[in-house]
Amino acid sequence: MELVKAARDLVSSFGREHVQRASTVDGLFANGLVPERMGAVISSAAAGLAVVLSCLGVYALLSHSIARRTREIAIRIALGASPAAVHTLIARHALALVGGGFAIGVPAALATASTLRSLLFGVAANDTVTLIASGGLLLATGAIAAARPAVRAVGLEPMRSLRAD
């Protein structure tokens, strides 16, 4: 870039020609990648939003599912079930729902990966780490989603819950 002024003066001394713009090769390549970088940023933001929405969906599904079973849980506690047994029941139910979703989602993701292969750069279409990480995130979300209603259900008085319905 130190030679730009001298080159510009030399070219303009020839007459009607002039230098419109001068930049380095690295600058040309950096500017050429702007659309791809913007696409990557937008895709990453959309993927992040999809993960957040799926976690919220799992949380809402499990919370609603366990809230609907409050009467059943109250009957179990009234009949002498321990809080640990109720927690185990709810955790097993949550694991079944999340596991079922994972069992459906992974084959669906692998089936659509061939379609999306042309859009991926630097990531394999069937990236094991990504699949395991997303499954682990949804499993953790399911555990958190099941824990709150489980604690609430165990803390309720059975007779009050049975009278409410």
- For every residue of 67-107, which 3-state class applies, written as one string? HHCHHHHHHHHHCCCCHHHHHHHHHHHHHHHHHHHHHHHHH
Looking at residue 165, what is its pLDDT?
A: 54
**Per-residue pLDDT tens for 10-41?**
767 777 776 666 767 676 676 777 787 888 88
CA dist., res. 1 & res. 3, Å (int): 5
Looking at residue 49, what is its pLDDT?
A: 93
**Per-residue pLDDT tens for 38-80?**
888 898 899 889 888 988 888 888 888 887 887 788 888 888 8
CA dist., res. 41 & res. 33, Å (int): 12
The answer to whether 94 touches 149, Cβ cutoff 8 Å, is: no
Sign of CA pseudo-dihedral 35, 41, 47, 50:
negative
Looking at residue 45, what is its pLDDT?
A: 93
Please check the confidence at residue 150 and state whether its pLDDT lies above 70: yes
The answer to whether 143 touches 151, Cβ cutoff 8 Å, is: no
Tokens of 163: 């009278």
Looking at residue 79, what is its pLDDT?
A: 85
Q: How many residues does the chain have?
A: 165
Cα 38 versus chain centre, distance? 20
